[in-house]
Amino acid sequence: MAKLTVDLGERSYEIIIAADLLGKAGELIASRTGINKVLLVSNPLVFSLYGEKVAGSLRGNGFEVATALMPDGESYKNIKEAMKIIDRAVSCGIERSSLIVALGGGVVGDLAGLVAAIYQRGVRFVQIPTTLLAQVDSSVGGKVAVNHRRGKNLIGAFHQPALVVADTSTLTTLSPRDYLSGLGEVIKYGVAFDADLFSYLEKHHQQILKREETVLEHVILRCCGLKSMVVAKDEREDNVRISLNLGHTFGHALEKMGNYREYCHGEAVAMGTVAASLLSNHLGMLSDDELERILKLFDHLGLPTAFPENPAAIYRYMLHDKKIQAGKLRLVLPATIGSYTIRDDVSRAMIIRAMETARHMRF
């Protein structure tokens, strides 16, 4: 069992990573929160796979458990569905001293986390992430949100979990597409922060595709370690936390343009990371060799990289990004493999050129 602490003073919490953890969820949560009433939030698919195991473990450790299910999919990550969970919390008698537990991928975690942030001005919550993406990224760091029709995650809060329980065994049931989508965020960590992680991914890409447990545990632990470090330095994204968004300005625009149905988040981040890498290369930062290594890794892992038509339209969506400051797009770009830079001086023409190049790329 691997453990990490996200160091945030009185809001510090542990991330626990291991196989077969769900049956111990109740015990882990009881020893850390001391709360006895729980609203377990999930979706029908995840609940059918793991809900009873978690609920049973909670009940076995003295918790009174109510459940609330939201429909499956990014297009339901909205305020209307959050309100339904709040209605359920009210009718189940969830109190300020109760606990909300999110069991699922990033969509369930983000929405349940937002409910926890606003219900009765904030109740404690625990993340039990069941996708690779949620285990390496969304369950850690306290960003909770739902989408607005004008843009991604526009309604949100910072609300740190009390605990993150990442059971790597749950990844065996993920669809190939959702598994690959998580790898989009994993590669982002290597590109932005950690040349050793990037080399590890290059070397172990076959084991990663086979979902080998020891390799996955190493990768999840490293990604959580990197994210924890960034979040501990800048919890509310005043400065360095923006680095976690490498590839996301392109990615969020792609997600929005596809009405949150065409691309999964990690796929869009993968495509965005490719565009950011091409742009960096065009700007004279990332070398040709490094660019080739990045493109090859995406290809070896089978992630989508080619952009759809109409980069000018994607650019218009990019202008709704939350990272805009004084009307300027702030882009996180790889400077080398393992380091990033932030640029707010890149012309529209250069950004569109990078997307055009990504559109015509063939391996």
Residues belonging to the active site: 121, 143, 185, 227, 237, 241, 245, 248, 252, 265
CB nearer to ligand NAD: give 105 or 190: 105
Phi, then psi, of 217 in degrees rounded to 5: -60, -40
Q: Which of 143, 152, 205, 323 binds ligand GLY (CB under 6 A)?
A: 143
Alpha carbon of residue 345 to chain centroid: 27
Q: What is the Cα–Cα distance from 250 to 277, expressed in whole angstroms?
A: 12
- Amino acid of residue 315: Y
Walk across the sheet containing 163-167 and list its strands: 2-6, 13-18, 163-167, 124-129, 99-104, 37-42, 64-69
Q: Return the range that interacts with ligand GLY (CB under 6 A); candidates 18-26, 88-96, 206-214, 241-249.
A: 241-249
Q: Which of 74, 194, 267, 321 binds ligand NAD (CB under 6 A)?
A: 74
> Residue 47 is encoded by which pair of tokens?
């609940």
- Amino acid of residue 108: V
Q: What is the Cα–Cα distance from 361 to 363, expressed in whole angstroms?
A: 7
Matching residue, tokens 């526009």: 154
CB of 41 to ligand NAD, least distance (A): 12
Q: Return the range that interacts with ligand NAD (CB under 6 A); candidates 5-13, 92-100, 116-124, 128-136.
A: 128-136
CB 123 within 8 A of CB 101: no
CB of 132 to ligand GLY, least distance (A): 14
Residue in the shown chain whose Cβ atom is closest to ligand GLY: 244
Q: Which stretches of 194-287 are DSSP H helices?
A: 195-203, 205-209, 213-233, 248-257, 265-282
When CB distances are held under 5 to 8 angstroms depending on the partner's kind, the choice from ligand NAD, ligand GLY, none that residue 72 binds is: ligand NAD
Residue 261 CB coordination number (10 Å): 10
Q: Which of 38, 45, 165, 191 binds ligand NAD (CB under 6 A)?
A: 45
Q: Which of 148, 241, 293, 300 binds ligand GLY (CB under 6 A)?
A: 241
CB nearer to ligand GLY: give 241 or 300: 241
> Residue 312 is encoded by which pair of tokens?
């000018």
> Residue 213 is encoded by which pair of tokens?
């447990």
CB nearer to ligand GLY: give 269 or 297: 269
CB nearer to ligand NAD: give 104 or 338: 104
When CB distances are held under 5 to 8 angstroms depending on the partner's kind, the choice from ligand NAD, ligand GLY, none that residue 359 binds is: none
> Residue 119 is encoded by which pair of tokens?
């219900």
How, if at all, do strands 163-167 and 124-129 pair? parallel
Q: What is the Cα–Cα distance from 87 to 75, expressed in whole angstroms?
A: 20
CB of 74 to ligand NAD, least distance (A): 5
Residue 228 CB coordination number (10 Å): 21
Q: Return the range that interacts with ligand GLY (CB under 6 A); candidates 75-83, 158-166, 192-200, 239-247.
A: 239-247
Q: Which of 245, 249, 277, 305 binds ligand GLY (CB under 6 A)?
A: 245
Residue 151, beta-bridge partner list? 148
Site residue total, ligand GLY (CB under 6 A) = 6
Nearest CA to 105 among 136, 83, 80, 84? 136
Is 265 one of the binding residues for ligand NAD (CB under 6 A)? yes
CB of 322 to ligand GLY, least distance (A): 11
Interface with ligand NAD in residues 278-307 (CB under 6 A): none
Give the residues lining the site for ligand GLY (CB under 6 A): 137, 141, 143, 241, 244-245
Give the residues lining the site for ligand NAD (CB under 6 A): 43, 45-46, 49, 72, 74, 77, 104-108, 110, 130-131, 133-134, 137-138, 141, 143, 153, 170, 173-174, 178, 181, 264-266
